Structure 1
Amino acid sequence: MAAAYAPMAVSMFLVGLVQTALWRELRCIIRVALTAVSERATESSGISPPPHVVEAVAVFNAALAADREAVAKLLALWVSCSDALTAHPSIQVGLAPGGFGLVGVLGLLNGALGTIPTGPRAGCGWVTCVLGEDRKPMHFEVTGSGDDGVTLVRASSRECSGTGADFSLRLHR
């Protein structure tokens, strides 16, 4: 009977090794990406983002590299929310044409990471997801300063007051 379990134990051990190797590779990719993200963020925005934001962007990009379809589906998920959530000072919430709030996964994540403290995009979330022509995520980056001529999408009439606009997506041009 014990011999019957040996192949299963070996295969489980091998699966564990592969998973460990994949996670090691992802951690290596994240480490390399951290430096690049930090340098690009400071160059493009003139604002030095907090270290936790740079780390988050690197992790989001690693997740995107690991499973672009899953991340795209998560980003496409938006639900209506209460006025109390819409009024939250850091959670990024968009306004639907009917005036009710819509919150997405990236809006919640940006809420946890905090908002840009100063400049034209004060109150905006630190993380932006760049969308391709097909409106699928290409990569994540630290949100630009606002004087870069980039048009952010899913915007309401309120400019990132922290209450009423989800400026977490932009189209790649």
Structure 2
Amino acid sequence: MYDELREGAIQRAVRSGALVRHDVRLERGEQHVRRLWLRPNVVGKLSPTDVDLDQLARVNAALKRFVVGGQFNIVSKACANPGAVGLADIRELKTDPPPFVEMRFKPPKHHLRIFGRFISCDGLILTSLAMKSSKDSETNKSLSVGDERKRCDDFFKIQQFDFDWLPTNIETSVSNAKII
């Protein structure tokens, strides 16, 4: 029952323009294994005018690897090794369930973070993007993970994505992943 309700809500969000399915150009032998949606504000900020070209290429490569089912390293909120964060493709943030995650892309130009939630196993919705430059520390402008989570939660509520549909832990959120 949840599957039908969830899929209907996702399709309504796509038809209304609230979500954009991230489609990738497949090479021979590749197929869509996972599903990825982005809010239009995230799509708009992932452009050469807003993001360094090298960083944009790394973001696009990671998103494609996600969609085609490539291996992903996920650092869980239970990970006790602080050095593991540098190995992560996806990081589970220390919040209450359901898991709230980020994809982090370090400089050259900006520290880029994209936030979201898994709506199903291998189905990820990225709801917001934040960039932090080295100048931000000079102006005392800081990124608030709590604000990003609230934006995500508010979006899910507006779209009527029931939290009961969501995976309850990071281990059941994505296949072909190494959980650290």
Task: Report the TM-score when normalising by structure 1.
Answer: 0.34
Q: TM-score, normalised by structure 2?
A: 0.33
More strand by share: 2
Higher helix share: 1
Pick 1 or 2: higher relative contact order, CA cutoff 8 A, min separation 6.
Answer: 2
